[in-house]
Amino acid sequence: MGMLDGKVAVVTGAGHGIGRGHAMELAKHGAKVVVNDLGGSVTGEGSGRDADLTVKIIQDRGGEAVANYADVSDYDAAASLVSDAVEAFGRFDILVNNAGIVRDSAIWNMEERDFDSVIAVHLKGTWVPCKHAALHWREQNKASGAPVGGRIINTISGAGLTGNFGQTNYAPAKAAIASLTQTLSLELYKLGVTVNAVGPAAATRITATMPNAPAVIEPDEVPDGEWNRMDPAVSSPLVAWLASDEADHVTGQIIRAVAENIIWMTPWADGPAINNGGKRWDATKLGMQLATDVFKTRAPGLRY
C-alpha cells in the first residue's frame, strides 16, 4: 500500500529539477501524475516537450503519468491542468505549484519585462492553477456536501522570506506566494483542502545561473538510496507527506526543506509596540520613541 494510492496529482514545472523530483516521489507513493511543463529556458523563453522526459521516467519505474505543456500563467491554458487529470485518471486530488524561472540582476540593470515575467510565472502561475483547482473542488463539495480532501503545496524560497541581492522580482514573488498560501488556506478550509508551501534548495538549472554554482543535477541521476544534499528531490518526501491524508491537520504553513533539515518558518509576528493613548503621533517626537522602545538603537535612560 502506497500512502498516495488512488490519488491524482498535478505537478507544475515538473519537466526538470525539483518538480521532476516531486513527480517521481508522488508516483513512487502510488499517485497518478499529470506532469506539467512549458519546456522553455531557465529565463522563460521558448517552449518544448520536456514534460515527456519525466513521464517516461515515471512510466519506466512502473508508475502512471501523462504530460501537460500549459504555461501556468496563462489562465485558459492552465485550466487543462485539472481537466487533464480528470480525463486521464478520473479525479484530481493534489496540486503542487513548482514552475519557475529567474531573471536576476540588480534593480538598476533589471528590465521591466524581467520583473513582469518573473512575477507572472511564479505569482500568477501559482494563483491560476489554485483558482482552477478551487473551482473544481468547490463544485465537488457542493455536489457531495463532504470535505474533498484536496491538497495544494506551493513553492517558496528562502530568498523571498529574507531578501536576496539581485532578485527584486523573484524574492517578492516568492514572499507573495507565502501570503497567498496563508490566505488560501483560510478560504479552502471548509472544503477540506489544505494549502501549504515548501521552500526547497537544490542544484538545478535555476541555481546554475548564480556565480560559483554547483553543476546541475536531475533527480533521476541520483541512484536510489544515495544521499546527495543538492539532489532536487530532497524536499520531495515532505511534499509527499503534505499531500497525504495523514497531513489533513496541517494548513497555512510555510516549511523549508534544505538538505537534511526540515525547518518550520514562523510567520510575521508582532514585535515591540508603542501606544500613544488615543492621540495622533507627533512626527518630531516619534524618532526618539521608536529608537528607545521599538528598534532599541538608543538607551532609554533611567525611567524609575
Ligand X SMILES: NC(=O)c1ccc[n+]([C@@H]2O[C@H](COP(=O)([O-])OP(=O)(O)OC[C@H]3O[C@@H](n4cnc5c(N)ncnc54)[C@H](O)[C@@H]3O)[C@@H](O)[C@H]2O)c1
Pairing of strands 254-258, 261-265: antiparallel
The least CB distance from residue 154 to ligand X, in Å, is: 9
- Residue closer to ligand X (CB basis): 21 or 150: 21
| Cell numbers at 35, concatenated | 506532469
The least CB distance from residue 251 to ligand X, in Å, is: 20
Q: Going by C-beta distance under 8 Å and a sequence separation of 6 or more, which residues neighbour residue 111?
A: none
Checking 294-301 for CB contacts under 8 A at 24+ apart, the result is: 296/272
The least CB distance from residue 44 to ligand X, in Å, is: 6
- When CB distances to ligand X are compared, the closest residue is 17
Q: Which of 73, 80, 117, 157 is catalytic?
A: 157
- Residue closer to ligand X (CB basis): 210 or 274: 210
- Residue closer to ligand X (CB basis): 148 or 153: 153
**In angstroms, rounded to a whole number, what is the distance separating the alpha carbons of residues 203 and 228?**
10
* Sheet with strand 32-36: strands edge to edge: 65-68, 32-36, 8-11, 94-96, 151-155, 194-199, 254-258, 261-265
Q: Which of 28, 32, 174, 244 is catalytic?
A: 174
Say if residues 242 and 153 touch (Cβ distance below 8 Å).
yes
The least CB distance from residue 265 to ligand X, in Å, is: 13
- Residue closer to ligand X (CB basis): 177 or 191: 177
- Does the annotation count 174 as an active-site position? yes
**Helix and strand counts by DSSP (H, E) for the chain:** 9, 8
- Residue closer to ligand X (CB basis): 71 or 93: 71
Would you tell me which residues interact with ligand X (CB under 6 A)?
12-13, 15-19, 36-40, 42, 44, 50, 71-73, 98-101, 121, 125, 155, 157, 199-202, 204-207, 232
**In angstroms, rounded to a whole number, what is the distance separating the alpha carbons of residues 25 and 292?**
51
- Does the annotation count 157 as an active-site position? yes
Q: Going by C-beta distance under 8 Å and a sequence separation of 6 or more, which residues neighbour residue 101?
A: 40, 41, 42, 43, 44, 117, 118, 121, 122, 206
Q: Which of 170, 185, 236, 244 is catalytic?
A: 170
Catalytic site positions: 157, 170, 174
